[in-house]
Structure 1
Amino acid sequence: MANAKNVYGKPLQLCCGNTGFTREGFCYVPDSDLGNHSVCVIVDQAFLTFSAQRGNDLMTPRPDLMFPGLSPGDRWCVCASRWLEAYKAGVAPKVNLSATNLRALDIIPLPILEVFTSEPA
Protein backbone atom coordinates (compact mmCIF):
# COMPACT_ATOMS: atom_id res chain seq x y z
CA MET A 1 0.00 0.00 0.00
CA ALA A 2 3.03 2.28 0.03
CA ASN A 3 2.09 3.55 -3.44
CA ALA A 4 -1.48 4.48 -2.49
CA LYS A 5 -2.74 7.77 -3.90
CA ASN A 6 -5.01 10.44 -2.48
CA VAL A 7 -7.99 11.98 -4.28
CA TYR A 8 -5.63 14.22 -6.27
CA GLY A 9 -3.44 11.32 -7.44
CA LYS A 10 -0.59 12.33 -5.12
CA PRO A 11 0.99 10.13 -2.42
CA LEU A 12 -1.49 9.33 0.33
CA GLN A 13 -0.67 11.22 3.53
CA LEU A 14 -1.01 9.97 7.10
CA CYS A 15 -4.50 10.41 8.55
CA CYS A 16 -3.53 9.77 12.18
CA GLY A 17 -2.13 7.08 14.41
CA ASN A 18 -3.76 3.64 14.65
CA THR A 19 -6.53 4.35 12.15
CA GLY A 20 -7.85 2.85 9.00
CA PHE A 21 -8.75 -0.67 8.09
CA THR A 22 -5.11 -1.74 8.47
CA ARG A 23 -4.56 0.30 11.69
CA GLU A 24 -1.41 1.82 10.16
CA GLY A 25 -2.59 5.44 10.24
CA PHE A 26 -3.29 5.60 6.50
CA CYS A 27 -6.65 5.25 4.78
CA TYR A 28 -5.45 2.28 2.75
CA VAL A 29 -8.11 0.20 1.03
CA PRO A 30 -6.80 -3.34 0.57
CA ASP A 31 -8.93 -5.87 -1.31
CA SER A 32 -10.08 -7.29 2.04
CA ASP A 33 -11.63 -3.92 3.02
CA LEU A 34 -15.16 -4.38 1.76
CA GLY A 35 -16.22 -1.19 3.58
CA ASN A 36 -13.89 1.12 1.61
CA HIS A 37 -12.46 2.91 4.68
CA SER A 38 -11.00 5.60 2.45
CA VAL A 39 -12.14 8.96 3.85
CA CYS A 40 -9.92 10.69 6.43
CA VAL A 41 -12.30 12.68 8.58
CA ILE A 42 -12.08 14.98 11.56
CA VAL A 43 -14.99 13.69 13.61
CA ASP A 44 -17.41 15.98 15.40
CA GLN A 45 -20.18 15.17 17.84
CA ALA A 46 -22.91 15.33 15.20
CA PHE A 47 -21.18 12.69 13.06
CA LEU A 48 -20.34 10.48 16.04
CA THR A 49 -23.97 10.55 17.18
CA PHE A 50 -25.22 9.89 13.63
CA SER A 51 -22.86 6.94 13.22
CA ALA A 52 -23.93 5.47 16.58
CA GLN A 53 -27.58 5.81 15.58
CA ARG A 54 -26.76 3.80 12.45
CA GLY A 55 -25.27 0.99 14.52
CA ASN A 56 -21.59 1.95 14.39
CA ASP A 57 -20.59 3.36 17.79
CA LEU A 58 -17.26 5.07 17.22
CA MET A 59 -17.18 6.60 20.70
CA THR A 60 -16.86 3.48 22.84
CA PRO A 61 -13.34 2.02 23.17
CA ARG A 62 -12.95 -1.54 21.87
CA PRO A 63 -9.52 -2.78 23.05
CA ASP A 64 -10.23 -6.19 21.51
CA LEU A 65 -10.24 -4.48 18.09
CA MET A 66 -7.39 -2.07 18.89
CA PHE A 67 -9.96 0.75 18.79
CA PRO A 68 -9.51 3.59 21.29
CA GLY A 69 -12.91 5.22 20.87
CA LEU A 70 -13.18 8.62 19.25
CA SER A 71 -13.88 12.11 20.54
CA PRO A 72 -14.67 15.28 18.59
CA GLY A 73 -11.53 16.50 16.84
CA ASP A 74 -10.04 13.04 16.36
CA ARG A 75 -9.10 11.89 12.86
CA TRP A 76 -10.22 8.52 11.55
CA CYS A 77 -10.63 6.64 8.28
CA VAL A 78 -14.33 6.06 7.68
CA CYS A 79 -16.26 4.17 5.04
CA ALA A 80 -17.00 6.28 2.00
CA SER A 81 -20.61 5.09 2.00
CA ARG A 82 -21.11 6.18 5.65
CA TRP A 83 -19.59 9.60 4.92
CA LEU A 84 -21.93 9.99 1.93
CA GLU A 85 -24.88 8.90 4.08
CA ALA A 86 -23.90 11.53 6.67
CA TYR A 87 -23.59 14.13 3.92
CA LYS A 88 -27.12 13.39 2.73
CA ALA A 89 -28.32 13.70 6.34
CA GLY A 90 -26.56 17.06 6.78
CA VAL A 91 -23.98 15.84 9.31
CA ALA A 92 -20.89 15.10 7.21
CA PRO A 93 -17.64 15.82 9.05
CA LYS A 94 -14.69 17.72 7.62
CA VAL A 95 -12.22 15.72 5.54
CA ASN A 96 -8.47 15.79 5.03
CA LEU A 97 -8.19 15.30 1.27
CA SER A 98 -4.42 14.74 1.31
CA ALA A 99 -5.07 11.71 3.51
CA THR A 100 -8.26 10.55 1.74
CA ASN A 101 -7.69 7.59 -0.55
CA LEU A 102 -8.45 7.83 -4.24
CA ARG A 103 -10.90 4.94 -3.73
CA ALA A 104 -13.27 7.38 -2.00
CA LEU A 105 -14.07 8.71 -5.46
CA ASP A 106 -15.65 5.34 -6.31
CA ILE A 107 -18.55 6.53 -4.15
CA ILE A 108 -18.26 10.27 -3.49
CA PRO A 109 -17.76 12.92 -6.20
CA LEU A 110 -14.64 15.02 -5.61
CA PRO A 111 -16.51 18.37 -5.75
CA ILE A 112 -18.63 17.28 -2.78
CA LEU A 113 -15.57 16.25 -0.77
CA GLU A 114 -13.85 19.53 -1.60
CA VAL A 115 -16.66 21.50 0.07
CA PHE A 116 -15.80 19.70 3.33
CA THR A 117 -12.03 19.98 3.21
CA SER A 118 -10.23 20.85 6.41
CA GLU A 119 -7.21 22.07 4.46
CA PRO A 120 -6.57 25.64 3.37
CA ALA A 121 -7.16 26.41 -0.28
Structure 2
Amino acid sequence: MSTKNVLGTELVPCSYDPLTGYFRDGCCNTDASDAGSHLVCVRVTREFLAFSASRGNDLSTPQPAYRFAGLEPGHRWCLCANRWREALEAGMAPPVILESTHSKALEFVTLAQLEKHRFQGALH
Protein backbone atom coordinates (compact mmCIF):
# COMPACT_ATOMS: atom_id res chain seq x y z
CA MET A 1 0.00 0.00 0.00
CA SER A 2 1.44 3.36 -1.02
CA THR A 3 1.57 6.38 1.24
CA LYS A 4 -0.78 9.23 0.27
CA ASN A 5 -0.24 12.96 0.22
CA VAL A 6 -2.80 15.63 1.16
CA LEU A 7 -4.15 15.55 -2.41
CA GLY A 8 -4.96 11.83 -2.12
CA THR A 9 -2.28 10.76 -4.60
CA GLU A 10 1.01 8.95 -4.01
CA LEU A 11 3.44 10.81 -1.71
CA VAL A 12 6.27 12.37 -3.76
CA PRO A 13 9.76 12.77 -2.23
CA CYS A 14 10.39 16.15 -0.60
CA SER A 15 14.20 16.46 -0.75
CA TYR A 16 17.31 14.33 -1.07
CA ASP A 17 19.68 17.35 -0.81
CA PRO A 18 19.43 18.16 1.98
CA LEU A 19 18.24 14.72 2.96
CA THR A 20 14.99 15.22 4.86
CA GLY A 21 12.25 13.28 6.59
CA TYR A 22 11.91 11.70 9.99
CA PHE A 23 13.51 8.56 8.55
CA ARG A 24 15.97 10.60 6.42
CA ASP A 25 14.58 8.89 3.34
CA GLY A 26 13.78 12.08 1.42
CA CYS A 27 10.04 11.77 2.12
CA CYS A 28 7.73 13.12 4.81
CA ASN A 29 6.95 9.57 5.96
CA THR A 30 5.89 8.91 9.54
CA ASP A 31 5.01 6.25 12.08
CA ALA A 32 4.05 6.14 15.75
CA SER A 33 7.64 6.90 16.85
CA ASP A 34 7.59 10.28 15.06
CA ALA A 35 6.55 12.41 18.04
CA GLY A 36 7.17 15.61 16.06
CA SER A 37 4.96 14.60 13.11
CA HIS A 38 7.42 15.65 10.37
CA LEU A 39 4.68 15.74 7.73
CA VAL A 40 4.68 19.07 5.88
CA CYS A 41 7.09 19.48 2.98
CA VAL A 42 8.06 23.15 2.81
CA ARG A 43 10.42 25.39 0.89
CA VAL A 44 12.10 27.29 3.69
CA THR A 45 12.37 31.06 3.59
CA ARG A 46 14.74 33.40 5.39
CA GLU A 47 11.78 34.72 7.40
CA PHE A 48 10.67 31.25 8.44
CA LEU A 49 14.20 30.24 9.49
CA ALA A 50 14.41 33.33 11.71
CA PHE A 51 10.95 32.60 13.13
CA SER A 52 11.85 28.97 13.88
CA ALA A 53 15.09 30.02 15.59
CA SER A 54 13.14 32.52 17.70
CA ARG A 55 10.98 29.60 18.87
CA GLY A 56 14.03 27.59 19.94
CA ASN A 57 14.45 25.45 16.81
CA ASP A 58 17.51 26.71 14.93
CA LEU A 59 17.37 25.02 11.55
CA SER A 60 20.17 27.13 10.01
CA THR A 61 23.13 26.15 12.17
CA PRO A 62 24.96 22.97 11.13
CA GLN A 63 24.83 20.11 13.63
CA PRO A 64 27.55 17.68 12.46
CA ALA A 65 26.80 15.22 15.27
CA TYR A 66 23.40 14.67 13.63
CA ARG A 67 24.75 14.80 10.05
CA PHE A 68 22.79 18.05 9.59
CA ALA A 69 24.43 20.75 7.44
CA GLY A 70 21.87 23.44 8.28
CA LEU A 71 19.13 24.80 6.03
CA GLU A 72 19.29 27.76 3.69
CA PRO A 73 16.43 29.66 2.04
CA GLY A 74 15.12 27.61 -0.87
CA HIS A 75 15.84 24.22 0.70
CA ARG A 76 12.95 21.79 1.00
CA TRP A 77 12.36 20.20 4.39
CA CYS A 78 9.84 17.93 6.15
CA LEU A 79 8.59 20.23 8.86
CA CYS A 80 6.71 19.28 12.01
CA ALA A 81 3.01 19.88 11.40
CA ASN A 82 2.58 21.80 14.66
CA ARG A 83 5.54 24.09 13.81
CA TRP A 84 3.97 24.85 10.42
CA ARG A 85 0.66 25.64 12.11
CA GLU A 86 2.45 27.85 14.64
CA ALA A 87 4.19 29.69 11.77
CA LEU A 88 0.84 30.03 9.99
CA GLU A 89 -0.73 31.62 13.06
CA ALA A 90 2.22 34.05 13.27
CA GLY A 91 1.99 34.96 9.57
CA MET A 92 5.33 33.23 8.83
CA ALA A 93 4.25 29.96 7.17
CA PRO A 94 6.71 28.83 4.50
CA PRO A 95 5.40 27.63 1.12
CA VAL A 96 4.15 24.03 1.03
CA ILE A 97 4.76 21.35 -1.59
CA LEU A 98 1.38 19.60 -1.43
CA GLU A 99 2.45 16.57 -3.47
CA SER A 100 5.14 15.85 -0.86
CA THR A 101 3.08 16.60 2.27
CA HIS A 102 1.85 13.48 4.09
CA SER A 103 -1.92 13.01 4.34
CA LYS A 104 -1.67 12.87 8.15
CA ALA A 105 -0.86 16.60 8.10
CA LEU A 106 -4.62 17.08 7.72
CA GLU A 107 -4.96 16.03 11.37
CA PHE A 108 -3.20 19.32 12.26
CA VAL A 109 -4.23 21.81 9.56
CA THR A 110 -6.81 21.99 6.79
CA LEU A 111 -6.22 21.40 3.12
CA ALA A 112 -7.46 24.95 2.49
CA GLN A 113 -4.75 26.34 4.80
CA LEU A 114 -2.09 24.31 3.02
CA GLU A 115 -3.41 25.22 -0.44
CA LYS A 116 -3.32 28.93 0.43
CA HIS A 117 0.44 28.54 0.98
CA ARG A 118 1.13 26.20 -1.93
CA PHE A 119 4.57 26.60 -3.49
CA GLN A 120 4.07 27.86 -7.03
CA GLY A 121 7.46 26.86 -8.49
CA ALA A 122 8.61 23.69 -10.23
CA LEU A 123 8.39 20.50 -8.16
CA HIS A 124 12.03 19.51 -8.73
- Pair in the same fold by TM > 0.5: yes
Q: Which amino acid aligns with 1:73?
A: G
| Structure 1 residue ranges (4+ consecutive) displaced by more than 4 angstroms after TM superposition | none
Q: Tell me, which stretches of 5 or more residues in structure 1 are unaligned?
A: none
* Shift in Å, 1:65: 1.2
Distance 2:22 2:83 in 1: 14
TM-score normalised per structure 2? 0.92
User: How large is the RMSD of aligned CA atoms in angstroms?
Assistant: 1.2
2:10 maps to what in 1?
A: 11
* Shift in Å, 1:64: 1.4
Identity among equivalent pairs (%): 49
Q: Tell me, which stretches of 5 or more residues in structure 2 are unaligned?
A: none
Q: Which amino acid aligns with 1:68?
A: A
Distance 1:68 1:9 in 2: 32
Q: Deviations 1:19-73 (Å, cap 9, x if unpaired)?
A: 0111110000121101110000000011000100111000011121121200000
Matched residue count: 119
* Shift in Å, 1:119: 3.9
TM-score normalised per structure 1? 0.94
